[in-house]
Amino acid sequence: MVTLHGQNIYLRALEPEDLEFVYAIENDETIWEISNTITPYSKFLIRQYLENAHQDIYEAKQLRLAICKKENSTAIGLIDLFDFDVRNKRAGVGIIIQDEIDRSNGFGKEALKLVIDYAFEHLQLHQLYANIGTENKASLALFTTFGFEKIGVKKDWNFIRDAFQDEAVFQLIKK
């Protein structure tokens, strides 16, 4: 996997040294609703995951990359291609930026652009999709910026804060 470089960030494969960072993200209850996480992850499980992170997307059916600032190489988030389907040339995409301050600096936009280009040009995918809670205004704005179109809504799909919420499915087809 080649490192993907943007103007202010770069995306790189996960390393064993990312244990504390991934552990912090996976166990941050404030973002569990985005990732559909319901229980904490142990460092043991995350260490095992990182040990197998060397598998390529064709083997693992997933590619998780660290989003890092160019200025100081600090990891600030994760971006994933998941449910990689070679036969149908598609994958899901998801992104999380850990710190609230970094979320408003365009890093997510830059990371998503890099992954879209990588998926369409290098992996030769035909389409990407994203599942986004209809209340997640930031993600809705981010994905529609790149031409993702809402193709449906799953009613009462996620139980969040004592209420059911809808989840929209967005799709981007390679032109």
Q: Give me the residue label for tokens 């470089």.
A: 5
Q: For residue 8, what are the CA distances in angstroms to 94, 96, 102?
A: 20, 17, 12
Quick one: average pLDDT of 112-122?
98
9: tokens are: 């960030």
Quick one: average pLDDT of 91-115?
94
Q: What is the C-alpha separation between 142 and 35, in angstroms, rounded?
A: 17
Q: What is residue 48's predicted lDDT score, i.e. its pLDDT? A: 87
Q: What is residue 47's predicted lDDT score, i.e. its pLDDT? A: 87
Q: CA angle, 124 as apex, 35 and 73 as ends, to 5°?
A: 55
Quick one: pLDDT band at residue 1, thresholds 50, 70, 90? low
Burial code of 95-124, b = ≥16 C-beta within 10 A, e = fewer? bbbbeeebbeeebbbbbbebbbebbbeebe
Helix, strand, or coil (residue 40): coil
The one-letter amino acid at 24: A
Per DSSP bridges, beta strands 90-97 and 127-133 are parallel
Quick one: pLDDT band at residue 152, thresholds 50, 70, 90? very high
Q: Give me the residue label for tokens 């494969």.
A: 13
What are the residues facing 63 on neighbouring strands? 81
Percent with pLDDT over 90 in the chain: 70
Quick one: pLDDT band at residue 28, thresholds 50, 70, 90? confident
Give Cβ neighbours of residue 147 (< 8 Å, ≥ 6 apart).
172
Q: What is residue 33's predicted lDDT score, i.e. its pLDDT? A: 72
Quick one: average pLDDT of 81-103?
94
Quick one: pLDDT band at residue 2, thresholds 50, 70, 90? low
8 A C-beta contact, residue 133 and residue 153: no
Q: What is residue 51's predicted lDDT score, i.e. its pLDDT? A: 82
Cα within 13 Å of Cα(51), Cβ side: 6
Q: Give me the residue label for tokens 């999380």.
A: 96
Quick one: average pLDDT of 109-126?
98
Query: Which has more pLDDT, 7 or 103?
Result: 7
